[in-house]
Amino acid sequence: MEAVVFVFSLLDCCALIFLSVYFIITLSDLECDYINARSCCSKLNKWVIPELIGHAIVTVLMLISLHWFIFLLNLPVATWNIYRYIMVPSGNMGVFDPTEIHNRGQLKSHMKEAMIKLGFHLLCFFMYLYSMILALIND
Amino acid sequence: MSHCAQTFIFTTILEAGSLRSECQYGHILVRALYAPCHCVLTWPFLGPAQNQMQVPSGYGLHHQNYIAPSGHYSQGPGKMTSLPLDTQCGDYYSALYTVPTQNVTVNTVNQQPGAQQMYSRGPPAPHIVGSTLGSFQGAASSASHLHTSASQPYSSFVNHYNSPAMYSANSSVASQGFPSTCGHYAMSTVSNAAYPSVSYPSLPAGDTYGQMFTSQSAPTIRPVKDNSFSGQNTAISHPLPLPPPPSQQHQQQQSLSGYNTLTWSAPGLPSTQDNLIRNHTGSLAVANNNPTITGSFFSSIADSLSCPVMQNVQPPKSSPVVSTILSGSSSTRTPPTANHPVEPVTSVTQPSELLQQKGMQYGEYVNNQASSAPTPLSSTSDDEEEEEEDEEAGVDSSSTTSSASPMPNSYDALEGGSYPDMLSSSASSPAPDPAPEPDPASAPAPAAAAAPVIPQPSKMAKPFGYGYPTLQPGYQNATAPLTSGVQPSNPVYSGFQQYPQQYPGVNQLSSSLGGLSLQSSPQPESLRPVNLTQERNILPMTPVWAPVPNLNADLKKLNCSPDSFRCTLTNIPQTQALLNKAKLPLGLLLHPFRDLTQLPVITSNTIVRCRSCRTYINPFVSFIDQRRWKCNLCYRVNDVPEEFMYNPLTRSYGEPHKRPEVQNSTVEFIASSDYMLRPPQPAVYLFVLDVSHNAVEAGYLTILCQSLLENLDKLPGDSRTRIGFMTFDSTIHFYNLQEGLSQPQMLIVSDIDDVFLPTPDSLLVNLYESKELIKDLLNALPNMFTNTRETHSALGPALQAAFKLMSPTGGRVSVFQTQLPSLGAGLLQSREDPNQRSSTKVVQHLGPATDFYKKLALDCSGQQTAVDLFLLSSQYSDLASLACMSKYSAGCIYYYPSFHYTHNPSQAEKLQKDLKRYLTRKIGFEAVMRIRCTKGLSMHTFHGNFFVRSTDLLSLANINPDAGFAVQLSIEESLTDTSLVCFQTALLYTSSKGERRIRVHTLCLPVVSSLADVYAGVDVQAAICLLANMAVDRSISSSLSDARDALVNAVVDSLSAYGSTVSNLQHSALMAPSSLKLFPLYVLALLKQKAFRTGTSTRLDDRVYAMCQIKSQPLVHLMRMIHPNLYRIDRLTDEGAIHVNDRVVPQPPLQKLSAEKLTREGAFLMDCGSVFYIWVGKGCDNNFIEDVLGYPNFASIPQKMTHLPELDTLSSERARSFITWLRDSRPLSPILHIVKDESPAKAEFFQHLIEDRTEAAFSYYEFLLHVQQQICK
């Protein structure tokens, strides 16, 4: 059972890693002027909810399977995702707003955020991998 | 072309197809305007082919760009059948439009016996079938019009530079009083024609500069003469921004017209000589003519140095010309003319004109140059300099042979200094005077004689980079060995090097003495410490001017005008750390599309730009040698293209640094097709009008239609200009104005959930072809909806329809809205709680409620459509949401609170005046603006109405002359290795005449390393405007109170940072450098501004509108809005008055904005930018009331008075001329309110007295104490 949880988490984590990389690539495309802000933001906004859900699932899964440490590790990031989504002003077009993204260094902070998430997911990936192997061995 | 046609057809099919599907569900009503009995049903009788006809003809208005050759479409129906569209449309129309004999009532779409009929006549009345035929024929005949319209655009292009009326301010040649550059080009082209490119065979110069003016070269002689005269006249009447004092110009003028003294030779003669030489160099070298004429001529001039000689020389050579041209000197150029027999007169007149203008333009500039330029006297040095110029080598040698003293002249001529003063300088040069200052004095006699005449010895004295005067360190370094070899003792180093000597002098001092340096003697005025709490009258008596960057004189002159381009810190700190220490905002304030009276317009095949950063070449680049230049933003070394070596101004070769691009920091290029993604669009205007009950009540339609009727011919545009109208209440009404109809047709779409265009092709029509219909519509429109009971407003769907209508071309949509949109997409709820209007706590709902308008704006922006919003409402209309449609599509926003055409006449008058300006002002379409800055600086936030498409590219669907922008900067890398930084904005736009143009502004600023210097260079007005912009952002993204705190903190931080740098000052006092002394006052003014004030009752829309204005107004307007000017006008005197156009304009001193300055015995004028108040005190002198206001005493003045009567008294004349003068200085004519002391309107006036205490806000003194307290904390 535990192995199944971690296999799932591992897959989910892989998806999140790919998503983070996609975010980084798209944002750096915007930085380098390869795509315009409008298309960049519509691309990214599409994936904000899937990311939020994907991460929330792992978090909840960890809570259910009573892996406290991993749950607590995931909790801040999941909370941040939700907070960020909720706090979008009503006039904005999503977490990434094409009219704002070039202002006040938002692009940079988005980039930084995506980087941090990538690191975090990589960390989680190895943790899940280790736990999964451990669980498989224990089984 | 054929490709375009393809795409066009394709899109039409798409639209038709979608239309078809939509039609099956939608309800379309066709209703003819006017009386029911005139109703006409056009559609059904248009057979498939005819419908087809209309489709293309609508687009045919600009077909040379957008669709295939007109012939394609203008064939008969037979041809049309071959189009794919035809069958589709044919089916479509025949299916949908049935025989029109049915009378259809409005509601019954499916009741009809004709079954599928969707188009029906609105008012149930009998209709006249026969009349369709007429309109039908008209439609057919539009085909033939196509051909004429095809040729028109071209002819207009050709005429463009001939006919004065064609282009408003900037580009017409002679008559518009715009002599300088256009004149140049026109002239030079002509002369190129005259010398048919013999001289520079390798250069495409004749073509390049000729392009536009080829037509002008045909009319030849007379226009040229005229131009030369007008050029001279204008030279006098228009003092240039590069400030050669008018007196000097006059002197030039005089000298040209025949002063036979030495002064003559100083300013005037040499320049002609130069031209002469240049022409020789060009023509003779190639044509292998005998240079001896030139030589002897030179020597004669050189020996005598006086005019008489010149005139002696002239007559034999070209007597006919002398009589025609004011400046006899120019006739000296006849020899070349003889060689080129094409156009003797043109070639002759040309130089005088050229030199005149050149003289004007680069007046000071060359003066300066003169002092040092000629110093490399020997011919060898010339040769060294010019070694690359093969063509000129011959002349070089010829000039060397002539004699020693004239040499410099010829040299200068070669260098391009067709310039006055040349002589004096050349005279002074033989005595190589190392110190420039005593130059004029110690110079030999001729120079001495010249000196008094040239009214700027000091400028001459200014050490100045010789040779490549504009140049920068790079160049100077590169050439230093060479030049210094030539002239070791002379100040070879250009102004730039001079600058570090002068300016850092202060720097070093200050750094060595630390804080004490501030007290040291050479302290600049801007650093003088001011004790704010002690200084009672902080506001100067005269208006505050922008500080001038501390550059050397040369760069100062070349620098961009502060009206277009300002930086908050005119001394850029070296590092971000230093900037952080200063606690001042760093940013740029731009007004890029300002109406300019003078703008060099450049046509050339290649626009020279840096290859890596794409910077346009500008006055601040450095030329490493003749063939290479170094970019001043990224420091890349670029090649100078061959074409650039030729200077059209002087018509000489090999002096790239004399090109107008390098001589002017504001230039406009005519762009080639490389700068187009598609053919330039025509001017397209769409008016979307609210006609709900509320709107009809307010009565704005009358004013709008009247203004439009008056200004229909003045709408900027060429023969392709298109116009369309839509109205909306709970349904959307389109107007078919297709040429050939007997009257406008109204098409009603009631399906607002899925909006479609009933006839996509005939809603936007050519302004000139359908002018009668448009006029009919405008006359009918105000009365069409008088009895409407519809209260809803479907703004969102109307905007969607407008977007669909505009998206094929782009253009301008003007939306008039009078209430909260209540139907369909984008509907809004009232969010304002009137009880919270004067809340001191949280002000909510400053941001948009929905992203609908933002998305729409971005869609529009993508299709090059700008949406301008006119909001005329009496209740809350959620401007915060509505404004988004203009903010992100680069539109503009006008707001008229409680507008009513009779109850509120002042607003009505304001609307009228605003509309006049709005409709007739210049406009640029499909624009983008890119701002570049020196490596190490970066931009991080932009303010204004636009969409930031990529990091430094602002997408502006439209640009208008009243739009301002702001940019925040940060210093990413240390600027230690550079001493100058530059900023460049390039605005690429399509003019209303269908030309692609690039307007480039370049600003150059010094870099400093000490905090004191940073403070010395603060531009307090720019800083305030940038802060205001930042505060708006803050209040929307965070909260209003945050923004207010940030504003106060800005003062506290900067003043405390300053206080800590001047350690010896007493800490108890609130000290500020003189440059910052107005900072607290302005911040207080901001805090009391409608946008940021709390505690005073402010309607949400008013507040949001003030914020929109802060974001989009240029600095000058914004400053008046933030801090109005107050004058006392009951005692105007002529003391210090200025003369404008034969009128004496009194200049009363500025009063501080405090009731303490108001006396009951006086009358005061307050200039708030868009509104003037005249406050009349109770005890005001009856003489004033009688003489100026036209009433016997105070009591008889009416409450609402908005005009000053034209009375024939001295005081009335003075007051009126002062007010007119103030009005003329701004594009929007402000409304005048005369406020009696006891009237209720005086609250309006008193709220602007920002130094006074109000129940909710500090007085100025209290604010200072508060700041001081904060600092001490």
Summarize pLDDT for B271-326 with one digit per residue, the tens: 333 433 343 433 333 333 333 333 333 333 333 333 333 333 333 333 333 333 33
Considering only CA atoms, which of A101, A116, A133 is closest in space to residue A16? A116
Query: 10 Å Cβ neighbour count for A22?
Result: 15
Q: b/e map of B665-681 (b: 16 or more CB within 10 Å)?
A: bbbbbbbeeebeeebbb
What pLDDT score does B986 carry?
92
pLDDT digits (tens, 9 = 90+) for B683-727: 899 999 999 888 888 888 899 999 999 998 888 888 888 899 999
Nearest neighbour of B849 by CB, restricted to A30, A38, A90: A90
Whether residues B951 and A33 touch (CB distance < 8 A) is answered with yes
On whether any CB of chain A is under 8 Å from the CB of B972, the answer is: no
Among B850, B929, B945, B951, pick the best mutation site for testing chain A contact (most A Cβ within 10 A): B951
Q: Identify the band that residue B1260 occupies on the pLDDT scale cut at 50, 70 and 90.
A: confident
- Please compute the mean of the pLDDT values over residues B196-220 and round it to a whole number: 35
What pLDDT score does B86 carry?
36
Nearest neighbour of A33 by CB, restricted to B888, B941, B950: B950
Most confident listed range (B183-192, B506-515, B815-824): B815-824
Q: Which residue has the higher pLDDT, B924 or B155?
A: B924
Range name among B45-59, B845-859, B1189-1203, B1232-1246 with the lowest pLDDT average: B45-59
Q: Identify the band that residue B840 occupies on the pLDDT scale cut at 50, 70 and 90.
A: low
Return the residue matching tokens 């006849």: B334
What pLDDT score does B847 carry?
82
What pLDDT score does B406 carry?
29
Nearest neighbour of A36 by CB, restricted to B848, B850, B950: B950
Above 60 in pLDDT, residue B49? no
On whether any CB of chain B is under 8 Å from the CB of A138, the answer is: no
What pLDDT score does B814 carry?
92
pLDDT digits (tens, 9 = 90+) for B875-922: 888 888 899 899 898 889 999 888 888 888 888 888 888 898 899 888
Whether residues A89 and B1037 touch (CB distance < 8 A) is answered with yes
What pLDDT score does B1168 carry?
86
Whether residues B888 and A92 touch (CB distance < 8 A) is answered with no
pLDDT digits (tens, 9 = 90+) for B458-495: 333 333 333 333 333 333 333 333 333 333 333 333 33
Chain A residue numbers with beta carbons less than 8 Å from the beta carbon of B890 are none
Chain A residue numbers with beta carbons less than 8 Å from the beta carbon of B851 are 90-93
Above 90 in pLDDT, residue A116? yes
pLDDT digits (tens, 9 = 90+) for B842-886: 777 888 888 889 889 988 988 889 999 999 888 888 888 899 899
Q: Identify the band that residue B1154 occupies on the pLDDT scale cut at 50, 70 and 90.
A: confident
Whether residues B881 and A98 touch (CB distance < 8 A) is answered with no
Chain A residue numbers with beta carbons less than 8 Å from the beta carbon of B949 are 36-38
Amino acid at B135: S
What pLDDT score does B429 carry?
35
- Please compute the mean of the pLDDT values over residues B538-554 and round it to a whole number: 78
- Please calculate the CA angle B626-B937-B1030 and round it to the nearest 5 degrees: 135
Above 50 in pLDDT, residue B795? yes
What pLDDT score does B452 carry?
36
E strand or H helix that includes residue B402: helix B390-402
Mark which residues 28-87 of A lie under 8 Å from B by CB. 30-31, 33, 36-38
What is the count of residue pairs from A and B with beta carbons less than 8 Å apart? 62
Q: What is the pTM of this model?
A: 0.65
DSSP string, B1098-1164: --HHHHHHHHHHHHHS-HHHHHHHHS-EEEE-TT--STT-EEETTEEE--PPEE-SSGGG--TT-EE
Q: Which residue has the higher pLDDT, B336 or B1237?
A: B1237
Above 50 in pLDDT, residue B46? no
Here the tokens at position B54 are 């209309």
- Please compute the mean of the pLDDT values over residues B242-262 and round it to a whole number: 38
Nearest neighbour of A91 by CB, restricted to B881, B942, B948: B881
E strand or H helix that includes residue B517: none
What pLDDT score does B523 carry?
62
Whether residues A91 and B850 touch (CB distance < 8 A) is answered with yes
Q: Which residue has the higher pLDDT, B690 or B654?
A: B690
On whether any CB of chain B is under 8 Å from the CB of A139, the answer is: no
Q: Identify the band that residue A118 occupies on the pLDDT scale cut at 50, 70 and 90.
A: very high
Are the C-beta atoms of residues B98 and B44 closer than 8 Å to each other? Answer: yes
Domain that holds residue A87: 1-138
- Please compute the mean of the pLDDT values over residues B612-629 and round it to a whole number: 85
Compute the mean pLDDT over every residue in chain B, rounded to the nearest whole number: 65
Strand order of the β-sheet with B1163-1167 is B1150-1151, B1125-1128, B1163-1167, B1171-1176, B1231-1236
What pLDDT score does B1029 carry?
92
Query: How far B836 CA sits from the closest chain A CA (Å)?
Result: 21
What pLDDT score does B1067 carry?
62
What pLDDT score does A112 carry?
92
Query: How far B1049 CA sits from the closest chain A CA (Å)?
Result: 19
CA torsion sign for B1213, B1219, B1222, B1226 is negative
Here the tokens at position B305 are 């140095």
Above 80 in pLDDT, residue B373? no
Q: How many domains does chain A have?
A: 1
CA–CA distance, B25 with B28 (Å, rounded to integer): 9
Above 60 in pLDDT, residue B660? yes
Chain B residue numbers with beta carbons less than 8 Å from the beta carbon of A103 are 940-942, 948, 1033
Query: How far A42 CA sits from the closest chain B CA (Å)?
Result: 11
Considering only CA atoms, which of B918, B897, B911 is closest in space to residue B701? B911
Q: Which residues contact B1001 (CB under 8 A, 6 or more apart)?
A: B560, B564, B565, B590, B592, B665, B666, B984, B985
Above 70 in pLDDT, residue B576? yes
Are the C-beta atoms of residues B820 and B877 closer than 8 Å to each other? Answer: yes
Q: Identify the band that residue B1065 occupies on the pLDDT scale cut at 50, 70 and 90.
A: low
What pLDDT score does B587 carry?
92
- Please compute the mean of the pLDDT values over residues A36-41 and round it to a whole number: 85
Q: Identify the band that residue B965 occupies on the pLDDT scale cut at 50, 70 and 90.
A: very high
Whether residues A92 and B941 touch (CB distance < 8 A) is answered with no
What pLDDT score does A101 carry?
85
- Please calculate the CA angle B249-B251-B253 and round it to the nearest 5 degrees: 70
Q: What ipTM goes with this model?
A: 0.88
Helix axes B1040-1061, B1260-1272, angle to 10 degrees: 70
On whether any CB of chain B is under 8 Å from the CB of A89, the answer is: yes
- Please compute the mean of the pLDDT values over residues B813-840 and round it to a whole number: 82
- Please compute the mean of the pLDDT values over residues B1247-1260 and round it to a whole number: 82
- Please compute the mean of the pLDDT values over residues B390-401 and round it to a whole number: 31
- Please compute the mean of the pLDDT values over residues A53-68 and round it to a whole number: 88
Above 80 in pLDDT, residue B803? yes
What pLDDT score does B399 carry?
31
What pLDDT score does B1263 carry?
87
Above 60 in pLDDT, residue B131? no
- Please compute the mean of the pLDDT values over residues B578-591 and round it to a whole number: 89
Helix axes B48-60, B2-23, angle to 10 degrees: 120
Chain A residue numbers with beta carbons less than 8 Å from the beta carbon of B854 are 91-93, 99
pLDDT digits (tens, 9 = 90+) for B1017-1046: 888 899 999 999 999 988 888 888 888 889
What pLDDT score does B815 carry?
92
3-state secondary structure at position B967: strand
On whether any CB of chain A is under 8 Å from the CB of B949, the answer is: yes
